[in-house]
Amino acid sequence: MGAWYEDPVGAEIVRRKYLHEGERDFADAVERISACFDGGMREKIRGALLNADFFPGGRSLFALGCKGKFKATTSNCYVLPSPADSLDSIFEVGKQMAVIFSQGGGCGVNVSRLRPQGARVRNASRTSTGAASFVSFYDKIASLINQNGRRGALLVGLACDHPDLEEFLKVKQNDDRIQSANISILFDDTFMKAVALGATYRLRFNVDSTGERIARELDAADFFRRFGESNRDYAEPGAIFIDRVRSWNLLSADPEYRIEVANPCGEFFGNAYSACNLGSLNIYSLIRRPFTEQAELDADLLRERVALAVEALDAIIDYGCELQPLAENRRNVHDYRQIGLGVFGLADALIALGIRYGGPTAISFCGRVFLEIFLQALRTSNRLAREKGTFPRCRPDLLVRAPILQFLQSAEPNLLADIRRFGLRNASLLSVAPTGSISTMCGFSGGAEPLYGIVYQRTTHSLARQGKLFPVFARSVRDLMRKRGMEKAAAESLRQEFPYIVTAHDIDPIDRVRMQATIQTYVDNGISSTVNLPAGATTEAIMAVYRTAWQTGCKGITVFVAGSRRTAILGRSS
């Protein structure tokens, strides 16, 4: 077998997204990227990239080693401030969004500070078009600013107590021109409890400039049903459980740090102007003796790679801080030094271990793995704080009061003492991104998600012109077939012989949520997650997914029903 980047699909993704003039293949790009690291880390990063053991985020793969050649950020994720209730602020945030899009970043923005539809304004309009109406404005900016052939990535959020809540629910149903923006509702615990109790929930907004006070009662359960129906038909909005988000992170005890919303894919929640360097570890490559009864995860190698990844992502902050699109981003990156280490190849790893995704053994395995990833990330960030200094806004006395760190007291009490004494280098450590391009280019399952198919129909630029597709088996399935001499096995025979080979549509959605919740216990930031439901899924089934996600401590989740009016993200072949 050749290198992973010699595969035609991987080679095309690399060429289209990450290569620059004069670079022939990924090996050339690796020389450019690894040259940005000092000392012994350079060779370690070089080996990790060539072996697909670890990747920094796509923006870093593109921008590292190109300083001064063009304007491009090393960060994937951005959160903008919620625009204040004025045209100046609305358009200023739009301008800042355009700058970030133009340099490769994706943005999240919360429009909850904008007055609702019908509220009085002191200009010729007399009344406001409302917070929900500005989704189309920000969407247009994302659509117009091209990022190497794709639109800017955007998430627009609205708090569940905003009087425009019902308008926001329908904003994409009523305007099919909104193509770039994803929308999410920020549900608080009070709202979700009202749903469970069949109670009303108070929507409210105070317009400071006019003194107008707007309030009304909403039937929470009725709205939640309509939310489920919208997911059934349109696959939106997503849900962000904002109280969980704000209480389960490293800065939850710091009153000066207030999370606004998520980035477009939901793996990063940040304060105004925050930016995050993403990176992902290949869990499949950590399995020793795969597809045997002796298969196991190499825990020592996991710890070694987590340490390398955290140190590399921290170094990218130093390299890329001056490349941040806005002065406000540069200040925030300097002050908080946030990184987001995640995974890919998790579903492949479970297949290599003979474990069914979503089952009790898989949930237990994920709990152990992510606990170790989080502990080692904390150890490494604590060591870097001793060697290089903490993030400037670090207050160790507040860090150790965060519930997520208190939760770890029994697991490793000495670590908490070290954090109290020396602090941390980074204000955020773990974020599980979907890793769409990265996982696809090297043939592994994305993020912490299950396989979407056993075999995919793929094409390349040259074959697409001829209308040709070719089947590509999931990496773990392909390796299993080769080990068993089953090169031409049909997908259905694989399912029958190996019942632990499952795809997203085979997994009970509630089991899928419980697995995410277990991982979230040890992830201080977010997890990008979409639960796939079959065509014909009921509103009740959709509502059950969201209720369970809230009850089990997930921070956010989306649902995709096959055949909904939004185009499917991935094609699938059984």
Q: What is the pLDDT of residue 473?
A: 82
- Taking the CB of residue 318, how many other CB atoms lie within 10 A of it? 14
Q: What is the pLDDT of residue 152?
A: 81
Alpha carbons 338 and 427: distance in angstroms, whole number: 5
The structure's pTM equals 0.95
- Taking the CB of residue 12, how many other CB atoms lie within 10 A of it? 18
248 half-sphere exposure, CB direction, 13 A CA radius: 25
Task: Give one DSSP letter per residue of 523-564, joined into a string.
Answer: -SS-B--EEEE-TT--HHHHHHHHHHHHHHT-SEEEEEETT-
Alpha carbons 335 and 290: distance in angstroms, whole number: 43
Dmax (CA) of the chain: 75
The residue type of 284 is Y
Q: What is the pLDDT of residue 460?
A: 55
Domains of the chain: 1-72+274-527 (3.20.70.20), 77-248 (no CATH)
Bridge partners of 203, per DSSP, are 216
Alpha carbons 401 and 450: distance in angstroms, whole number: 34
Q: What is the pLDDT of residue 120?
A: 86
Burial class, 506, CB count within 10 angstroms (exposed 0-12 / middle 13-18 / buried 19+): middle
Q: Quick one: DSSP state of residue 452?
A: S
314 half-sphere exposure, CB direction, 13 A CA radius: 28
Alpha carbons 231 and 225: distance in angstroms, whole number: 10
- Walk along the chain (574 residues) and give the pLDDT tens digit of each residue: 578 888 888 888 899 999 999 999 999 999 999 999 998 899 999 999 999 999 999 999 999 999 989 999 999 999 999 999 999 999 999 999 999 999 999 999 999 999 999 888 877 667 889 999 999 999 999 999 865 556 789 999 999 999 999 999 999 887 788 888 999 999 999 999 999 999 999 999 999 989 999 999 999 999 999 999 999 999 999 999 999 999 999 999 999 999 999 999 999 999 999 999 999 999 999 999 999 999 999 999 999 999 999 999 999 999 999 999 999 999 999 999 999 999 999 999 999 999 999 999 999 999 999 999 999 999 999 999 999 999 999 999 999 999 999 999 988 999 999 999 999 999 999 999 999 899 989 999 999 999 998 887 766 555 556 666 667 788 999 999 989 888 767 777 888 899 999 999 999 999 999 999 999 999 999 999 999 999 999 999 999 999 999 999 999 999 999 988 754 443 333 3
Alpha carbons 365 and 369: distance in angstroms, whole number: 6
